[in-house]
A and B are shown apart, each in its own frame.
Chain A
Amino acid sequence: MNMDQPNILLIFVDNQPASMMGCYGNDEIFSPHLDELASKGVLFRNAFCPNSMCSPCRASMLTGLMPSQHGIHTWLDDYIMDTWPEGYKAIAEFETLPEKLAKKGYHTALIGKYHLGFADEPQNGFKHWVAMEKGTMESFYDVPMIDNGQRHTAPEHAVDYFTRKSLDYLDKHASPNEPPFFLCLTYPAPYANVPDPDHRYSHQYADLPMNSVPREGLSPELIDWILLCKEKYPDEDFSWYKRLAEQPNDLPAMRRFYAQVSMVDDGVGQVLAKLREKGVLENTLVIYTADHGKSNGQHGFWGHGEDTWPSNMHHSANSIPLLISYPGFAQAGLEVDNLVGTTDLFATILDLADCELESTEPVFGQSFGPLLSGETTEFRDEVFMEQEETRAIRTSEWLFMKRLENTKYGFKDELYDLVNDPDERVNLAQDPNYAEVAAKLSSRVEEFFTIYSNPRWDLWKGGTVKSNSTRPFLWEEVWGEDWTPEF
C-alpha cells in the first residue's frame, strides 16, 4: 500500500450546515452512513467556508484562494449565461486541485454539480466528467446532464443519478492495481430551495416536529433585504425573495430539506460499499464536506449569509460538516475542535497526496494533516470569511463581522463573544468595553485582505466580481456607475 498516494474521494455537497447530521448531534436526521463514516474517521466540530454561496466556495475548494483572489463573490447566475463569454470557465487562470493531482499521476473525475462556468466539457484538469448543465437547481428530477460529452436527462433523482455514475466510475478505476483516483463527487443536495416531490425517505420525515431547528421569528435584516430587493429590482419576479420569508418555520419545507440529507447519506453508503468491494477503502482518503452552511431560520433568516441586509457570517450560514476517514492515518472516532477552513482542506489534500502547495497567488490555507492523527491539537486559531459588504474573522473566542464603511447605509460592525455567547446573540461591537477587541480584530481582517486579495477582485477597493453580484446597486453607488462585473 502506497501511503504517499492515497485515492481521494471528496464528497462535496450543496448547502448543508454541520448541524444537519446525526453525528453532529442532530437526533432528527437519519444519516446512518455518515454517522458510521464519522465513527471510523475524524469529525471536525469547527469547519467554516469562506463565503456562503455555492460558486465562490467551489472555487475556493479547487484553488485554495479566497473570493477576493479568485473573483467569484456569489453564485454564478445561470440565468444570465447568455452574457458570459463563449465557453466561459470561471477559474481557468489558476492551477487547480485536480490539475495538481493529475500531474502527480491521479486519474481525476468530477461527478455532480460544477457551477463554475459552462459545464459542456471537462474543466480544471478533470478527465472524467459527469456534470449538470446548470448549477442552479430547479428540480431534483429530469435534470439535464452532460456525461463525458453526451447530453441526456437523468431519469432518476439527481442524487441517485450521481451515485450510479460514481459506482460505474469506481468499478472501472478503483483498484489497487490502477493509478490513484481523485473523485470529486458534488451532490446537488440537500439544497433546500426546490419543491421536491416525494422520494423514498420523505415518509420518515412526514410528521417530524423539527425541534432540532429552533423556532424563531424573522430578523429585521432579512426583511430589510427582501424589501430592498423589491425596491431595487422592481421588474424581477418578487416570488423568489418572498420565499426567503415564507420558508423559515414552514414545517413541510424544513422536512423536505432534511429528507434530502437522507438521500445523500444513502448515496454515500453505496459509494463507500463500492470502495470496500473493490478493496481500496483502506487506501482511500474519504472526505465529506459541503460548499457552505445554511440557516434553517437560525438568527431569523433562511439560507445564505447574503440573504440579509447587510450580509452576515453567523454560524448557521458558514459552518460546514467535515468528516475525514483515512485508515491507518486518521484516528477513528477523533473529534477535532480546531478551526479549519475550506482553503485548509485544499492544502491538506495536496499535503496528503504529496503535492507541493505552489500557487501564483498567496495561499492562506494550511494542511491540517497533523490534526488527523490526534498527536497534536496545535493549529492556527482563525478563519476568514467574506460576503461582499461583510468581511469577518472567527477565532475560538470571537466572531467579528466588519462592514464596508463608505456606503450610504451606515452598516454597523458586529462582535460576538463565542465563549459566553456561543449562539451569537449579543452584539458587542458598539459597546465601549469591547472597543479594543473590535479594533484588534478589525485590523486583523484588514491585514488579511491586504494579502489575500487581488485588486481586480477586491470589492472594498474598487474591484469588481466575476459574472454577477447580488448587490450591484451597492457597488455602483460606491464605485460609480461604471462599475460592472467582468469575466
Chain B
Amino acid sequence: MATKKPNIVVIYVDNHPGAIMGCAGNPEAYTPNLDRLSQNATLFTEAHCPNAMCSPCRASVLTGLMPSQHGIHTWIDEYYQDDWPDNWNAIDEFDTLPEKLAREGYDTALIGKYHLGNAESATDLFNTCVTMQIGHVQSFYENDIIDGEERYKHPGHSVDFFTDKAIDYIEQYSEEKETPFFLFLTYPAPYGHWPAIQGEPVNRYADRFSDSPMLSVPREGISKQAIDWISILKEKDLDDGEYDVLLRIPNDLPTLRNYYSQISIVDDGVGRVLKALENNNLSDETLFIYASDHGMSLGQQGFWGHGEDTWPSNTHREANHIPLIIKAPDDGNKQKVVDSLVGTTDIYATILDYVGLEMPPIKESPARSMRPLIENENIDWDNACFMEQEETRAIRTSQWLFMMRIQNTEYDFKHELYDLVADPDERVDLAQDPEYADVVSKLSARLNEYFSVYANSRWDLWKGGTVKSNSTRPFLWNETWGDSWAPEY
C-alpha cells in the first residue's frame, strides 16, 4: 500500500477569471467552497493560460504543449464538424496525460465538456466518459449527454448533473482501494456568453445577485480594438449575425449577475466534490486542483470575453489570468499563497510529478512542475508566462507584459508593453516610447527564442504554418501566407 499513487481530481472550468473568487479579494463573488479550499491548500495568484480560448487550453493541460505545438489555436468550431475526419480527436497524436496515467494503473474519467474534436472520441483518452455532445455551450440546461453507451438529454443544470456523476464516480472508486483514479471534471460553466447567461439569473443563487450593483466589475466604455474586431468581421464577411453581441454584453447588469450566479453554482459543485472525497476518506490521498481553461474580460480594457475578441488580439490580464488552487496529497492542509508566475502547461507537469512520472524533456515541452513551489519556500523559478493568440505572442513577467505582434501583415499591428509595477492595470502602452526600446528588444528576443523551441513548424502561424480545424482570422493567414493557406487536421 505504501506505493499507492495519489488520486487526482482536476476541476477544470469554463471561462472563470482568477479575480472572481472571494479568496481572490472579490467582495461580490460568492464562492464559500473555493474560499474554504484555499485555506487548506496553495492558492496561486499569478496563474496564466497560454491562450484565451477553450480548446487550446484544454489541449495544453492534457499535453503540456503550447498551441503552436499541438496545433489548436482557437476554439474548435463545431460548425465545421462535417469536414472533420471520422471520430476526430484533436490531440490524438500525443501521449496525453490520461493515457500516461492509465499506463501507471490509473482509472481515468472525463466528466464534463471535452471540446477537442468529436466528443465521442474522448473515450480514446479516458476509461470513463460522461460528456457533452457540444463544446460551444448555448445553455446550461437540456444538454445532450454522452454517458458510456447511453445518449440522452439531461434537463437540469449541467453543472449539477456533472457534480452528481463525479460523486458517483468517486464513491465507486473509493471501493477499489487498489486502483488510483484521475477525475477530470470539466464544468461547462460559468461560461460567460449569450445566450447561456443572457438575462437576469433564474437559479438558486438568483436572489443573492438580483439587486447587486456589480461594482466589482469596473464600468468601462467599449475599446476601439473591440469595435475594430466587430467591424473587420463584418467587412470580411465573417459576421454570423452574433458578433455584435460582444459589444452589447459589457455593462449589461443582468448578464453580469447571471455570470456571477453561475460561478456560485460551480462553487457549489466544488464543495460537493470535496465533501464526497472527505466522506470517503480520500481527501488526504488526493491531489486536488481547481483551475479554469482561461480568463474572461467582463468589460475590463473595453472588451468582453476572450483575448481574440479584439483586433489585434490581446493578452491582457483579464483574458489570461486563471484561478488555480492546488491541494497536494498528505500536506497537512497547509494554507499557502504563491505569487510566482505559473501556467497551464505547468499543471500537466505538476500532476506527472506527484504521480512520480518523468518530466517531459525541456526541449519538447515548456511544462514545469509546481511541486517545489508548493513544498518549498525558496526556490529558483523562472518567473515568466508565455502566451499566444494567433497574431499576438506575449510574455508576462513580474515586471512586464509585452505583447508582440506579427509584422508581415497589411494591418501595421503595434506591439504593446506595460510596466506591471507602475501600471498594474495595464493602461499605459510604453512600446512606442523610445525610452523602453531596450526592454522591448530584450523581451522580443525572449519570445522569439521561446517560440523557436516551443512551436512545430506545421502549426506555427508566424512561419507559414496552419491551425487545426479553424482560425478566427482565416483572412489574415490567407493574406499573409497565400490563398492556399488552409486549416488541417
Please list the residues of chain A having a beta carbon within 8 angstroms of any beta carbon in chain B: 210, 215-220, 223-224, 226-227, 230-231, 238-239, 242, 245-251, 253, 297, 300
B414 within 8 A of A: no
Kindly list chain B residues whose C-beta atoms are within 8 Å of the C-beta of A215.
Answer: 214, 219, 251, 253
> Among A223, A231, A246, A300, which residue has its beta carbon within 8 angstroms of that of B224?
A246
Asked if B234 and A250 make an inter-chain contact with CB atoms under 8 angstroms apart, the answer reads: no
Q: Compute how far the CA of A238 lies from the CA of B235 in the bound complex, rounded to whole angstroms.
A: 13
Which of B220, B223, B234 lies in contact with A230, CB distance below 8 A?
A: B234
Query: From A239, which residue of chain B is reached at the shortest CB distance?
Result: B224
- Please give, as numbers and ranges, the residues of chain A lying within 8 Å of B295 by CB-CB distance: none
Which stretch in B162-170, B242-250, B326-334 binds the other chain? B242-250
A246 and B223 form a contact (CB under 8 A): yes
- Are the CB atoms of B227 and A246 closer together than 8 Å? yes
Which B residues touch A300, using CB under 8 A?
A: 248
Smallest Cβ-Cβ distance to B222: which chain A residue: A245
Q: Are A246 and B250 in contact (CB under 8 A)?
A: no
| Interchain CB contact under 8 A, A246 and B244 | no
A218 to B251 Cα, complex, angstroms: 8
Flag if B221 contacts A242 (CB, 8 Å).
no
Contact B221 A250 (CB under 8 A): yes
Chain A residues closer than 8 Å to B220, beta-carbon distance: 249-251
Partner of A227, one of B214, B231, B251, B252: B231
* 1/0 contact string of B373-417 vs chain A (CB within 8 Å): 000000000000000000000000000000000000000000000
Shortest CB–CB separation between residue B13 and chain A, in angstroms? 24
The answer to whether B234 touches A248, judged by C-beta atoms less than 8 angstroms apart, is: no
Contacts of A220 in B (CB 8 A): 244, 248
Tell whether B71 is near chain A: CB-to-CB under 8 Å: no
Measured between beta carbons, the chain B residues less than 8 angstroms from A253 are 221
Beta-carbon contact of A242 and B224 below 8 Å: yes
Interface centre among A219, A226, A230, A249 (most CB of B within 10 A): A249
Q: Is the CB of B251 within 8 A of A217?
A: yes
- Could you tell me the distance in whole angstroms from the C-beta of A313 to the nearest C-beta in chain B? 21
Indicate whether B444 reaches chain A with its CB closer than 8 angstroms. no
B320 at the interface (CB under 8 A from A): no
- Contact sample, A vs B, 16 pairs, CB 8 Å cutoff: A210-B219, A216-B252, A216-B253, A217-B248, A217-B250, A217-B251, A218-B248, A218-B250, A227-B244, A246-B222, A246-B224, A246-B302, A249-B221, A249-B250, A249-B251, A250-B221
Within the complex, the shortest CB–CB distance from A213 to chain B, in Å, comes to 9
Q: In the assembly, what is the distance between CA of A355 and CA of B251, in Å?
A: 51
Measured CB to CB, the closest approach of chain B to A28, in angstroms, equals: 14
Residues of B within 8 A of A (CB): 214, 219-224, 227-228, 230-231, 234-235, 244, 247-253, 255, 299, 302
Q: Which chain A residue has the least Cβ–Cβ distance from B234?
A: A227
Expressed in whole angstroms, the minimum distance between the Cβ of A211 and any Cβ of chain B is 8
Q: Residues of A contacting B227 with CB < 8 Å? A: 226, 242, 245-246
CA of A249 to CA of B219, assembled, Å: 6
Q: Are A248 and B221 in contact (CB under 8 A)?
A: yes
Q: Enumerate chain B residues within 8 angstroms of A218, measured Cβ to Cβ.
A: 222, 247-248, 250-251
- Specify which chain A residues have a CB less than 8 angstroms from the CB of B219 in the assembled complex: 210, 215, 249, 251
Contact of A247 among B221, B231, B253 (CB under 8 A): B221
Q: How far is the CA of A300 from the CA of B250 in the complex (A)?
A: 11
Whether the pair A217, B252 counts as a contact (CB closer than 8 A) is: yes
Contacts of A239 in B (CB 8 A): 224
- Using CB atoms, name the residue of chain A closest to B253: A215
Residues in A neighbouring B235, C-beta threshold 8 A: 230
Query: Which single residue of chain B is at the shortest CB-CB distance from A300?
Result: B248
Point out the residues of chain A lying under 8 angstroms from B231, CB to CB: 226-227, 230, 238
Residues of A contacting B252 with CB < 8 Å? 216-217
> How far is the CB of A228 from the nearest CB of chain B, in Å?
10
How many angstroms between the C-alpha atoms of A14 and B132 in the bound complex? Answer: 56
Chain A contacts for B250, CB-based, 8 A: 217-218, 249
Chain B residues near A217: list those with CB within 8 A.
248-252, 255
Are A223's CB and B248's CB within 8 A?
A: yes
Give the residue name and chain of the A residue nearest to B249 (CB): A217
Q: Which A-chain residue is minimally distant from B226 (CB atoms)?
A: A245
B221 engages A223 (CB within 8 Å): no
A251 / chain B contacts, CB cutoff of 8 Å: 219-220
Q: What is the distance, in angstroms, from A151's C-beta to the closest C-beta of chain B?
A: 36
Q: Which 5 A-B pairs have the closest CB atoms?
A: A250-B221, A217-B252, A223-B244, A249-B251, A246-B221
Which chain A residue shows the least CB distance to B304? A217
Q: Who on chain A is nearest to B215 by CB?
A: A209
* A171 CB, min distance to chain B CBs, angstroms: 44
B221 vs chain A, min Cβ distance (A): 3
A247 CA to B230 CA in the complex, in Å?
Answer: 17
Chain B: minimal CB distance from A402 (Å)? 26
A296 to chain B, nearest CB (A): 12
Nearest CB in chain A: distance from B199 CB, A? 12
* Beyond A223-B248, A231-B234, A247-B221, 16 additional pairs, beta carbon < 8 A: A215-B251, A215-B253, A216-B253, A217-B250, A217-B255, A218-B250, A219-B248, A227-B231, A227-B234, A227-B244, A242-B224, A246-B222, A246-B223, A248-B221, A249-B221, A297-B251
Asked if B230 and A227 make an inter-chain contact with CB atoms under 8 angstroms apart, the answer reads yes
CB closest residue in chain B, given A211: B213
B83 smallest CB distance to A (angstroms): 29
CB distance from B255 to the nearest CB of A (A): 7
Most buried by B among A215, A217, A218, A250: A217
